[in-house]
Structure 1
Amino acid sequence: MTLRGLFFCAGLLAASWGGAAPAVAKDWSQIRIAAEGSHPPFNYLDERGRLQGFEIDIARAACRKLNASCDFVTQDFEGLIPALIAGRYDAIFSSLSITEQRKAFIAFSSKYYETLSMFVAAKRDGKMSTEPEAMKGKTIGVKLGSTNARYLDARYAPAGAKIRPYLTADEARLDLAEGRIDAILADKTALLYWLEKSPLGRCCQMVGRDVSDPTYFGEGIGIGLRKSDPGLKAMFDKAIATLRADGTYEAIRTRYFPYDIY
């Protein structure tokens, strides 16, 4: 495990010692939900500073199924799990991959979407090989605390690539567009959206093959929940299943993506 990973786990343990809620029955008529707010089209802030996006729409629809009043807050990605354990909110809808590492600290709902990862580089580097040995000496940007960061630390750093973590994906994309790094690794769906929709995205294109390794990227994207709240997990599992069965999920998905993401 990297030094950054050790600090991350230490933070989780500290949060769990100091803020885990007791395992008692709770009234879930009010639920507090967190998202990063800088991962479009999944979650982002609109011009009035309100959370929007595919995941936020799914969360709102799930809350309606639960007859619950849900409030939304933003939290930087690396701090999402420690703040959940500390009790600052009750659930995470923020493209959180279901991995064995994270399941040691929190519970997850059933997955509500799944995506691959991909590399993006400047168009002039369109024939870049993305094999670990071929990227020796190159600087790869990645979101701090993400499964992509863990994958790069394990597979690319030992081969000589320079891994540069960023607090947000937007910061990494800006540095790529400005030529300060050679490539970025991130969620494929979000990157395709950036390449198509953002003026900055005109700089760049997908390179190499899709990246998918369950050892690092897990079982899909789920709602992050405290282990001490099994009742809330059961409620969200049922709500997600209902949204799929009655067509609500598909109606929301088609507003954002012309293809399946499950």
Structure 2
Amino acid sequence: MRILSKLTAAAAIFCASTLMAQAEQVKVGIAAEPYPPFSSLDASGKWVGWEIEIIDAICAEAKLDCVITPVAWDGIIPSLTSKKIDVIMSSMSITEKRKKTIDFSDKYYSDNGYTIAGPKGVTIDPTPEGLKGRILGIQVSTNAEVYASKHFKDSLAEMKTYQTQDEANQDLVAGRIDAILASPLTIDQFMKTDQGKACCEIKGKVANDPEIFAPGAGAGLRKGDTMLKEKINAAIKGIRANGKYNEITKKYFSFDIYGE
């Protein structure tokens, strides 16, 4: 009887230790639409990119078993609030409007405002007057859409929205729109492609609007999910301190993406 009790106790300790060793599983929501160099599918169907590697690094640092879960961008916040996913890590800007619905971690990179790009040889100033009568392409449900609606809508012939930035880029290449508005990071990657180099050029940054421009992109969390938020914040600090953040970033960017 005593031997059985010892065996039972040992088994209980082993099971408890095993459960403690297992990482907490977290469904990380990303936009199902490609957003290179942050996230896109490779030839084998695997999600790759700067943000995917940062997610992996944050989850490893926080000892979380993260499962990448693609969700349509315009439904990603409802997916979080309805508990279909546990966190959003998809270049989501930290804005006051979004903070009314969800919470955010500390930033893990900066947006740095917005940039206009258009065809080579065509004068387009990044102002309401410079865009007068033009067709501007923008990804739907982004801060770029909010900015354009506030500052450019009355000047434009049309503000055309797209489910993905790539669709907007392709319409610019095809001449179906006159310009695109997106983050400098996104525009920079487009301008590095063969199509971007051949057709287009950066026209300049739009004027600052502190009510719209966010301090950066952060992980979106459900209100009250304090424990997960603390783990992610600590992990962001951890990978920046141990050099992992810079190691990943250097593979994709030639400049400081984190900002001040």
Q: Same fold (TM over 0.5)?
A: yes
Q: Residue in 2 aligned with 1:34? A: 29
Work out which of the residue numbers 117, 121, 146 in structure 1 matches 2:118. 121
Contact 2:23 2:63 in 1 (8 A): no
Report the CA distance between 1:228 and its aligned residue: 2.8
Whole-Å separation in 2 of the counterparts to 1:222 and 1:111: 4
Question: 5 Å matches for 1:180-219?
Answer: 180-210=176-206, 212-219=208-215
Report the CA distance between 1:78 and its aligned residue: 1.4
Q: Which letter maps to 2:116? A: F
Q: Residue in 1 aligned with 2:58? A: 62
1:190-238 C-alpha deviation (Å, 9 max, x unpaired): 2111111343542111003355433112111101111131110111000
Q: 1:138 and 2:134 equivalent?
A: yes
Contact 1:123 1:205 in 2 (8 A): yes
Task: Go from structure 1 to structure 2 and tell me whether the alpha carbon gap of 1:96 and 1:155 turns closer, same or farther (over 3 Å shift).
Answer: same
Q: Which letter maps to 1:233? A: K
Q: 1:92 and 2:125 equivalent?
A: no
Contact 1:28 1:232 in 2 (8 A): no
Work out which of the residue numbers 227, 231, 243 in structure 2 matches 1:247. 243
| Deviating 4+ runs (over 6 angstroms) | none
Contact 1:148 1:217 in 2 (8 A): no
Contact 2:88 2:220 in 1 (8 A): yes
Report the CA distance between 1:50 and its aligned residue: 1.8
Whole-Å separation in 1 of the counterparts to 2:24 and 2:134: 50
Question: Which runs of 5 or more residues in structure 2 are unaligned?
Answer: 1-21
Whole-Å separation in 1 of the counterparts to 2:154 and 2:190: 29
Percent of pairs with identical residues: 36
1:26-81 C-alpha deviation (Å, 9 max, x unpaired): x9700111111411001111112221111111110111112221110111221111
Work out which of the residue numbers 216, 222, 225 in structure 1 matches 2:218. 222
Q: Residue in 1 aligned with 2:74? A: 78
1:166-208 C-alpha deviation (Å, 9 max, x unpaired): 0000110010000000000011112111111343542111003
How many corresponding residue pairs?
235
Contact 1:132 1:161 in 2 (8 A): no
Q: 1:111 and 2:107 equivalent?
A: yes
Q: Which letter maps to 1:159? A: S
Task: Go from structure 1 to structure 2 and tell me whether the alpha carbon gap of 1:130 and 1:259 turns closer, same or farther (over 3 Å shift).
Answer: same
Task: Go from structure 1 to structure 2 and tell me whether the alpha carbon gap of 1:133 and 1:210 turns closer, same or farther (over 3 Å shift).
Answer: closer
Q: Which letter maps to 2:241? A: A
Question: Which runs of 5 or more residues in structure 1 are unaligned?
Answer: 1-26
| Farther-moved stretch of structure 1 (71-80 vs 153-162) | 153-162
Contact 2:39 2:50 in 1 (8 A): yes
1:103-137 C-alpha deviation (Å, 9 max, x unpaired): 00001110000133201101131x32221122121
Normalised TM-score (structure 1): 0.85
Task: Go from structure 1 to structure 2 and tell me whether the alpha carbon gap of 1:230 and 1:244 turns closer, same or farther (over 3 Å shift).
Answer: same
Work out which of the residue numbers 231, 255, 259 in structure 1 matches 2:255. 259
Q: Which letter maps to 2:251? A: R
Whole-Å separation in 2 of the counterparts to 1:171 and 1:234: 36
Contact 1:177 1:201 in 2 (8 A): no
Normalised TM-score (structure 2): 0.86
Report the CA distance between 1:150 and its aligned residue: 0.5
Task: Go from structure 1 to structure 2 and tell me whether the alpha carbon gap of 1:205 and 1:94 turns closer, same or farther (over 3 Å shift).
Answer: same
